Homo-oligomer: A and B are copies of this chain.
Amino acid sequence: MFDMFIQVTRQGGRPLYLQIADQLRIKIENGELAPNSRLPASRVLAKKLGVNRITIVNAYAELETEGLVVSRVGSGTFVATAQNTSLAESEVTARWSGPLPPPRQWNAGLMLSEMMRLAHQPGVISFANGAPASEFLPVNEFRRALNDVLRRDGAAALQYEDAVGYEPLRDTIATYLQQQGTQVHNSDILITAGCQQALDMTLRLLTRGENSVLVVEDPCYLGLLELVNTRHITPAGVSLDEAGMQIERLEQIILRFRPRIIYVTPTYHNPTGVTMPLKRRRALLEIANRYGIPILEDTTYDELRYEGELLPSLKSLDTTDLVFLAGGFSKTLVPGIRIGYLVVPSYLRDRLIAIKQTADLLTSPLNQRALYVYLQSGHFAQHLKQVRTAYRERRDTMLAAMEDHFPSDARWRCPQGGMYLWVDMPPSGPTATDLYLTAINYNVAFAIGSVFSASGSFTHALRLSFVTHTPQEIEEGIRRLGKAWRELLDRHAKATTPTDYQPALHIL
């Protein structure tokens, strides 16, 4: 028996069977429908939803084609497990002699792409993704920088060069980090294809498949969880409080699982917006040192500061060369040139360069040079000032609108920087997935909390990005979301009263 909503509408063009498949898919992918659980018989579900039985059969067939469910003759339709996700996959794994990966109960990649598909429909105001606002991307400045580079360097900007990265750019990044209090030498900086590759390279160096445990914050950056998933590493989530990763829980995890790395975003954490104060930073380093466990520090959002003081990076406090610092320019400047960097412990530099070289030989020397020319031009400080002002205004607009439109028992904190607001829904009510599916009808989207969780927790939380839209769009989007939320609560309240059953609005 399901304790969740499925809702269909005859307005809009999407066929009924696909509407049903869409909603079941999301519930399967975020774990609300567990592997091996049985879907309702088609005639039962058809009757409940007031649709033809063939509609349900078609919806199930759609999901079966996608490998999400399997039908067993005579016993019904079941949510697939990792072993039977798809025929093709099992054909491939059958050839493998090594141990099979553990069943994946959670597929954030598919979940995310489904959320993104819905969020990109025309007219939808989406707070789901983590892109910077397009209107501030320095298009003309980069066009000038690219022209300068190609006029100045000619073919050299389009040839092969060292995997470690363009030296003047590494110098510039080193100087920049030094100005912020992180003493690094340019030789310890490797240029990467965005911050994501810096994370991937570090995991490639320090982990070895299923036996490797990696500590993550719970919740955690989705791209890291996906990486852990495709690399078949085991993530161990440590919960957060208002000061970030909880150190006592971390120690328990360390003692129990002997992890290879601790991955942490101490400043303006994605998705919660939490910042780790200095004292907690020191405590984290102390414990990592005591057990000799490297830290992978993600500084993606450090520059997006709206209030409060600049806190020292973990790397700047690191006295034993145990911290890998990953950073980039995608959130603060421009995602599309794909430049990030990794500050590495000196003694591992050569091995990381070899890993970079085998991953993709080198990052585009053209893009590296263009970024260098841009940074040299002095526009970056001005750009940061502009986006900080705009993003702070957007954050405040969103907070005010939430105050006006969200139910009074929703909970959130005001982040001092970054891009996200994290909202907790009352645990006794409908889930964030239910809200998502309702909100889509109101043309507004967000990210469901559970996709950010290694443990599948946070089913009653949502992440709202406040930077992508204008203040006017933000107000309108939050108004719609508030309306959807109230509608959902009304339905929920009515649905729990069996006498008040409505054919158009269903609980299974």
Binding site for B on A (CB under 8 A): 86, 88-89, 92, 95-98, 109-110, 129, 131, 134-135, 137, 139-140, 142-143, 146-147, 150-151, 154-160, 192-194, 196-197, 200, 204, 206, 208-209, 211-212, 223, 226-227, 229-232, 258, 260, 292-293, 330, 334-338, 345, 347-348, 350-351, 353-355, 357-367
- For residue A353, give the distance in angstroms from its CB to the closest CB of chain B: 8
Known: A150-B142, A211-B98, A338-B363. A230 touches B358 (CB 8 A): yes
A selection of 11 A-B contacts at a CB cut-off of 8 Å is: A98-B209, A109-B354, A139-B158, A142-B150, A142-B158, A194-B361, A196-B361, A209-B209, A226-B354, A226-B357, A337-B364
Total copies of this chain within the assembly: 2
Set B151, B159, B334: member contacting A134, Cβ < 8 A: B159
Q: Which residues of B contact A92 (CB under 8 A)?
A: 206, 348
In contact, A98 and B158 (Cβ under 8 angstroms): no
Set B147, B209, B347, B366: member contacting A208, Cβ < 8 A: B209
Q: Which residues of B contact A155 (CB under 8 A)?
A: 134-135, 137, 139
C-alpha gap A142/B362 in the complex (Å): 19
In contact, B338 and A364 (Cβ under 8 angstroms): yes
Q: Chain B: which residue is nearest A356 at the CB level?
A: B230
Known: A354-B109, A360-B196. A158 touches B88 (CB 8 A): no
Known: A194-B360, A231-B358, A338-B360. A139 touches B135 (CB 8 A): no
- For residue A486, give the distance in angstroms from its CB to the closest CB of chain B: 32
C-alpha gap A158/B92 in the complex (Å): 37
Set B95, B336, B337, B364: member contacting A292, Cβ < 8 A: B95
Set B88, B97, B226: member contacting A211, Cβ < 8 A: B97
C-alpha gap A86/B351 in the complex (Å): 12
C-alpha gap A193/B367 in the complex (Å): 13
Known: A147-B143, A155-B139. A359 touches B98 (CB 8 A): no
In contact, A358 and B227 (Cβ under 8 angstroms): yes
In contact, B360 and A197 (Cβ under 8 angstroms): yes
- For residue A16, give the distance in angstroms from its CB to the closest CB of chain B: 25
C-alpha gap A98/B115 in the complex (Å): 37
Set B89, B146, B347: member contacting A146, Cβ < 8 A: B146
Set B134, B209, B336: member contacting A364, Cβ < 8 A: B336
Contacts A109-B350, A134-B156 supplied; 8 other A-B pairs, CB < 8 Å? A89-B347, A92-B348, A98-B211, A157-B336, A160-B330, A160-B336, A338-B361, A360-B360
Q: Which residues of B contact A354 (CB under 8 A)?
A: 109, 226, 229-230
- For residue A348, give the distance in angstroms from its CB to the closest CB of chain B: 7
C-alpha gap A220/B66 in the complex (Å): 38
C-alpha gap A258/B200 in the complex (Å): 29
Q: Which residues of B contact A366 (CB under 8 A)?
A: 336-337, 367
- For residue A132, give the distance in angstroms from its CB to the closest CB of chain B: 8
Set B292, B335, B360: member contacting A160, Cβ < 8 A: B335
- For residue A273, give the distance in angstroms from its CB to the closest CB of chain B: 20
Q: Chain B: which residue is nearest A99 at the CB level?
A: B208
In contact, B196 and A97 (Cβ under 8 angstroms): no
Q: Which residues of B contact A361 (CB under 8 A)?
A: 194, 196, 223, 338
